[in-house]
A and B are shown apart, each in its own frame.
Chain A
């Protein structure tokens, strides 16, 4: 089955001409056709464009002009990442018909490497959510159990890879939006260091926290892909000019001599005991492979979640202000300007987006700025310092749970925003500190996957891959439980 292959296996198959990119692409398009009416991972399937790109790729390969090893490899892209000429909605009615005249740098790099775009993946509207239930269009289901959420906000990206509807996908991670769905859907998920991957062309939720991330079927794939999409971009002032290594060659260097920290704050209250136990068992595996396991403390962790929700919503309130009906996107006509602004924004945004815009606007308001926004800046400094102290003390990576639970049921938390926000408790600190973190599937509980989170120092993705390889198991294959009529 072509669609079950990893990216590395796919590259090999293409190079050895076992199959063509068109055959591969058609296999994916057929699988999407067959499965996605149940999973709902894709907002837009770009079948025609994909077949054209695949045919062009095959031609290049025959002529010996392959653009890269990736030439002809299909990909799914979260619908918040702009794809030139292809509708990009951010899962919002506001941008339902928005076709960007430019591509995000990360997609541009993949396209220039010859990748084939299968389509655009579902998500929580403007990346605000942890279940993909906030999409303005439909809810994506967890391929392991269709009665459960895939996580969010990049739920479509996770579900597509888990269900073999894409060999890999790109998502974005502002507070866990790659890692939590990767954990829920049993894929590898990477949130790179802030500044590692350009944000140009990625519709922002919270600019100082957003980072493009990867969903893949293996750590090797993740490493391969990261090398392609990383690097300083002149179009993104916050991208960092740190050299991009070939991550895939360092994978099997092992963890001998590495010091891995278990931060005690991540194993306490609010985290399901079965999950804590499972993560601790992973520590044992790392120890057996020669790593030293030490318990550490990140004392300001408790302040991170509330601070995160103030900081992220404050930035979002400004980032989403441009959707005013004047230049592009939805406009609800009214007789005067103020009414047009109000009607457009009232009808264009969903409930959670409005809630966050209001929270953020409040936090920045005169008289509240000091008490809220300014405090979050202080918390951010402290959270970052906790991590810095750990790494300065010789810790190479931290090992934690990714989410307090396995995938929860559809509608379980959708009416309880606070409960929903709590599902980000293990992931937001990483964004606040701008660190890289890798989620590795490490087993299942009640038929639902559990991912372990490895957190590294800035630009230490390589160490995450090395540690992750030690934990990596045979890939979990979803069973599509509760699939109606099957």
Chain B
């Protein structure tokens, strides 16, 4: 059996985080009753004209900066023509000949993946089918709320060689876009979408094989699985001496297979030509500097700061910076006055544990966590109570002081109260006391446990230990 090298290029569509659409003032907010976020412009009524949203241009430039691209000071829009009911003008306004960003790169483990281009374009609407899917529907109705929401399309060079690399690139790209503040990058909501171009070639061959394009990949896992499936499918064809058909395929996540959508012969001729209703987008030095300065802190700078200014270990830093949501949260918590190292411990420990299975939303406020950390640090509650408070905050919300009060977590640090409890336990347990005195230091643990039990777990463990040692050594 011949051995093949896999060649992959990815195309990402990311929805830009603007308030209004690309060419009109309609809101971009997700959801809403069908056809309520629309106006004559995004519905493509006769005679209306597009007016470019400057903020979308700024976000596209930020994406370019985040992906190390050359920002084009002059870019232009083109029309991409095709008929479909979700496309109001029957052409999509996009950048074909002169995109806004070119020639970038993203580093993944031990490798650089080149970015060919980033261009700005408008999204289409969506069809709501009367049945489960378009195939079993008697009719479909267009919803234009998404029509003309600004997107960037990011196109990589065919530098990727495996499903794992593709997944790593996708994850890295998502994180970079999130840090740049460009997009919400939620794959499940469709604000980040990925298409895979994949071909195989016999090892050692320099020219590319015939590729298939895979669409409808809604998660990182789907990207990985679809590539693995496609590698096997194409290898099987080539093994038999066949030819891979150049076509567009769709990923069926349930069945774990790709299916043919349309072949090259049926491919659209989009008849691109310059959009005459818009003037070229010119970014002068002043605007460029403004955009550059408004770019949020990117991962490398962030890592440097967390290690040098916050004193975190490289390991902890990498783990925090890996997930932008946690990194933003970390900053908010320390800004609220919490100790950086303790914050890192909480975030990487209990919070990460509690987030498992629901990674995209933190249900607690940074200021609340800062309060909780302070409560534990000051000894007002002990660490195990702190964990319980955090769990409560995750499950039901509420502020930590409230929870500590209602659940009675406040730690007993009153020396006389503790002393009394210690003496009682010593009195009631002569045997372990004798054991301890005879050198069986293990008995200490038992006695400590008894005291914690007697105080409902609220005793300050540090103080109890000291008092117990004193009482026993006396």
Binding site for B on A (CB under 8 A): 80-82, 88, 90, 95, 98, 100-102, 104, 199-204, 206-208, 234-238, 314-315, 317-318, 321-322, 324, 326-328, 337, 341, 361, 364-366, 369, 373
Provide the residues of chain B in CB contact with A204, threshold 8 Å: 47, 277
Please determine whether A200 and B49 come into contact, CB atoms closer than 8 angstroms. yes
Provide the residues of chain A in CB contact with B91, threshold 8 Å: 318, 321
Q: Could you jot down 14 A-B contacts, CB within 8 Å?
A: A102-B40, A102-B48, A200-B47, A200-B48, A238-B49, A318-B89, A321-B81, A322-B44, A324-B85, A341-B83, A361-B271, A364-B273, A365-B271, A369-B273
Assembly CA distance A314 to B274 (angstroms): 11
Residue of A nearest to B24 (CB): A235
Contact of B271 among A102, A104, A206, A364 (CB under 8 A): A364
B50 in the interface, Cβ–Cβ < 8 Å? yes
Provide the residues of chain B in CB contact with A202, threshold 8 Å: 47
Provide the residues of chain A in CB contact with B49, threshold 8 Å: 199-200, 235-238
Assembly CA distance A201 to B49 (angstroms): 8
Please determine whether A90 and B276 come into contact, CB atoms closer than 8 angstroms. no
Binding site for A on B (CB under 8 A): 40, 43-52, 79, 81, 83, 85, 88-91, 142, 269, 271-273, 276-279
Min CB distance A313 to B, Å, is: 12
Please determine whether A237 and B52 come into contact, CB atoms closer than 8 angstroms. yes
Min CB distance B82 to A, Å, is: 9
Min CB distance A387 to B, Å, is: 20
Most buried by B among A200, A207, A322, A366: A322
Please determine whether A98 and B277 come into contact, CB atoms closer than 8 angstroms. no
Min CB distance A225 to B, Å, is: 20
Please determine whether A327 and B44 come into contact, CB atoms closer than 8 angstroms. yes
**Known A100-B45, A100-B46, A328-B45; contact A318-B273, beta-carbon cutoff 8 A:** yes
Please determine whether A322 and B47 come into contact, CB atoms closer than 8 angstroms. no
Provide the residues of chain A in CB contact with B44, threshold 8 Å: 322, 327
Assembly CA distance A204 to B44 (angstroms): 12
Interface of B is mostly: loop
**Known A237-B52, A321-B90; contact A314-B45, beta-carbon cutoff 8 A:** no
Please determine whether A327 and B88 come into contact, CB atoms closer than 8 angstroms. yes
Assembly CA distance A80 to B85 (angstroms): 24
Provide the residues of chain A in CB contact with B50, threshold 8 Å: 237
Contact of A365 among B52, B90, B269 (CB under 8 A): B269
Min CB distance A257 to B, Å, is: 35
Name 7 extra pairs, CB < 8 A, besides A238-B276, A324-B90.
A199-B49, A203-B46, A321-B90, A322-B44, A322-B88, A322-B90, A364-B273
Assembly CA distance A314 to B269 (angstroms): 14
Residue of A nearest to B90 (CB): A321
Please determine whether B46 and A237 come into contact, CB atoms closer than 8 angstroms. no
Min CB distance B315 to A, Å, is: 52
Assembly CA distance A235 to B83 (angstroms): 26
Contact of A314 among B40, B83, B85, B273 (CB under 8 A): B273
Contact of A203 among B47, B52, B271, B272 (CB under 8 A): B47
Provide the residues of chain A in CB contact with B83, threshold 8 Å: 321, 324, 341
Please determine whether A322 and B89 come into contact, CB atoms closer than 8 angstroms. yes
Provide the residues of chain A in CB contact with B45, threshold 8 Å: 100-102, 327-328
Residue of B nearest to A92 (CB): B46
Residue of A nearest to B44 (CB): A322
Assembly CA distance A373 to B78 (angstroms): 14
Please determine whether A237 and B278 come into contact, CB atoms closer than 8 angstroms. yes
Assembly CA distance A236 to B269 (angstroms): 29
Provide the residues of chain A in CB contact with B273, threshold 8 Å: 314-315, 318, 364, 369, 373
Residue of B nearest to A81 (CB): B47
Assembly CA distance A364 to B48 (angstroms): 23
Assembly CA distance A218 to B47 (angstroms): 29
